[in-house]
Structures are given as C-alpha cells and as structure tokens.
Amino acid sequence: MSNQWMGWIAFVALCLVAAAPGAWFTNSSVKTWYPHLRKPAGTPASWVFAPVWSVLYLLMATAAWLVWQEGHARGVWLPLALFFGQLLLNAAWSFFFFGLRKPGVALIEVLVLFLSIAATTVVFEDYSHYAFWLMTPYLVWVGYATYLNFGVWRLNRDIT
C-alpha cells in the first residue's frame, strides 16, 4: 500500500481516536440524562447522530490528508495545527455536555469550536479547494449543533 493511502488511514484513525472519548461520555448520558431534557424544535432522533458523525469524521480526515499531502511542496504546520486543535475541542464538547452535564459550559465551548472549525476551513482553502469543501459539512453541522446546544441550555436552565 502506498504512503499516500497509509497517510489517509492515519488521519482517519486519528479522527476516530479523537471521537472515542466523546462517544464514551455520550453513551454514559444518552440513555439516562439526555432523554429527560427538553429539546428545541428541529432536534433529530438520537439514532441520527452516530451515522452523521461517522461521515463527518471521514470527511474531516480526508480534508486534513489532502492538506498534509501539500506538505511536500510547502509547510503545512499551521493548517494541521488548527485541524488538531479543533479536533481536541470537538472531543472536549462531549465531556462538557454529556460528561459534566453542563449545557451552558458546553455552549461556550461549542462556540469556540465553531470558530476554530471556520478558521481551519478557511486556511485549508489555501492548500486544497477540495479540503475546504470537505470541511464545510462539518462546519454546517456544528452550527446546527450550536443551535441545539443553545436550545437545550435555554429550555433546561431550571434543571441543569
């Protein structure tokens, strides 16, 4: 297998490793705490989240891999540092929302995450037009997740 494909597999693995703690925190609360919360209009069924996030992690990994491939021609430390920073923020959100059960804290964190993804997406454009477009669904989804987080926080301030 070529080094290029090994690089892609490595980026997919890194994204899945980053997703694992989030999945653990989510699983610890999704059957006990989360179902009892009031949710805003437009909240999808719980089963929607896992397949959506699976696709988004593959798209993110592919975007980062495309940028990484540009490293042979020019330095890619900044876009990849932004990418890994937003990946850490992504994992942290589940800790705040599901682990600590603090939607207000998670709301602040997801706003920072959204800005971090936006910065990463914009910088990726300078390295790969495809990477920019592969990151765009993730940015849109986290925007939607921000709305959902805000709604949960607002509707449940009396119990959280």
How far is residue 39's CA from residue 153's CA, in Å, rounded to a whole number? 9
Does the residue 42 lie in any domain? Answer: yes
Does the residue 108 lie in any domain? Answer: yes
Does the residue 61 lie in any domain? Answer: yes
Does the residue 81 lie in any domain? Answer: yes
Q: Tell which residue, 90, 143, 92, 83, has the closest CA to residue 119.
A: 83
CATH of the domain at 43: 1.20.1260.100
Tokens describing residue 99:
């682990």
Residues in the chain: 160
Does the residue 160 lie in any domain? Answer: no
Does the residue 67 lie in any domain? Answer: yes
Domain count, the chain: 1
Q: Tell which residue, 27, 77, 79, has the closest CA to residue 53.
A: 27
How confident is the model over 50-96, as pLDDT tens digits? 999 999 999 999 999 999 998 766 789 999 999 999 999 999 999 99
Which pTM does this prediction carry? 0.93
CB 24 within 8 A of CB 141: no
pLDDT (mean) for 18-28:
85
Domain span including residue 64: 3-155
How confident is the model over 83-125, as pLDDT tens digits? 999 999 999 999 999 999 999 999 999 999 999 999 999 999 9
CB 13 within 8 A of CB 125: no
